[in-house]
Amino acid sequence: MSQDQLALFRTEVSAWLKTHCPASQRQPIVREEQIWGGRRRVFPSADAKQWFEACRDRGYTAPEWPVEYGGAGLTPEQAKILKQEMARLQCRPPLYCQGLWMLGPALLVYGSEAQKREHLSAICRGEIRWAQGYSEPSAGSDLANLKTKAEDCGDHFLVNGTKIWTTKADEADWIFCLVRTSDASPKQAGISFLLIDMASEGVSTSPIQLISGESEFCQTFFDNVQVPKANLVGELNGGWAVAKELLKHERKMMAAFDGMLEKPAMSLLELAHYAVGVDQDGRLGNSELRSDIAQHLMREQAISQLGERIYWQGKAKQSDPRLPLLMKHLGTTETQTKDELILRALGDEGLSMEDECVPEGLRKMVKQWAFNKALTIAGGTSEVQLNIIAKRALSMPTSEVKS
């Protein structure tokens, strides 16, 4: 598209957002008010429902997906403009869903036409909530070591095993799973990718309490679960290719995770000024903290520029598969660095998540610090990411890399 066409699109999108996004949905994200899809979907307010339905009907829950699958069919340039205008107006995301962030992009590449028709539109409409069944108690970083087995029983698979760290599996309708269908060597060659309805007989979940006091994750169990053959994505024993395609999008999502979280009442600098105070020149009173915050902000800017580089390379069809690995590692690490700086600035007020004497907004920051410890584990641990980066990006000798 020409620059004039893109400028016109920006004007139209901005006008549409101002018309259809209620003022209450142009506020900082509140975790309890995030809109998650699913059979048990509940809207926190009439405005939230209105905003979701407006985006759903226009395809803006999945802007770049084809129109026939529920998306808006936007070009990457148009989708970027939509994102920019939503950020400028502080529009909340209309829908949160692992189906949007991870499964959908993988289905667009590896799914059959029937699978695309059945699942993609339902994801865009917020009708189905998905969970991810990858890690197991003995197969976390070494994902290819998974033991959950799918036995070929003619017209269906019989699945037995367990998955762990399945985010909100107790609230999900479906789960996408890696299962072992062969004992072939290497281990990756015997893995298949299945879609499983959580309402199937034999599926159960058990929440896992986190250090933040919440239960964001579950252990999921499969006991003689029958899964139709039609739910196999890609080739039998070819699930590793699907898994890697999905992981590309998961790492991209994890790198940008901070932008989807509830925002504190104050920015990092505002909080530091409030908690630490300023000197006679108006600078943050603690010089060491001031220097560390400055370095953090510069790294955040560098990560943002890396994101721009990835975008323009994709547009030029010159994508570098190593860069999303860097983005995932750098983005999640920097989020944790920010959390640590917040706690340093809070001092004694950063010691409790439950002390009623501490303002609720500050207690939420401490809870976020505790929850975000998971970011450098989810989507591939930092240690594994660095090993892959060393091998692929730097050509360094490493121990065996699982990817």
Q: Give the integer Cα–Cα distance in Å for 245 and 102.
A: 9
Q: Give the integer Cα–Cα distance in Å for 380 and 382.
A: 7
Q: Which residues contact 281 (CB under 8 A, 6 or more apart)?
A: none
Average pLDDT of the chain, as a whole number:
88
Domains of the chain plus CATH, in order, are: 3-96 (1.10.540), 130-238 (2.40.110.10), 256-392 (1.20.140.10)
pLDDT digits (tens, 9 = 90+) for 169-186: 999 999 999 999 999 999
Measured torsion, CA atoms of residues 139, 144, 150, 151, in degrees rounded to the nearest 10: -120
pLDDT of residue 71: 96
Q: What is the pTM of this model?
A: 0.76
Interval 86-109 mean pLDDT? 93
Per this entry, what is the length of the chain?
403
First and final CA of the chain: distance in angstroms?
37
pLDDT digits (tens, 9 = 90+) for 253-266: 655 555 556 666 67
pLDDT digits (tens, 9 = 90+) for 301-334: 998 888 888 778 777 777 777 777 788 888 889 9
Helix (H) or strand (E) holding 88: helix 76-88
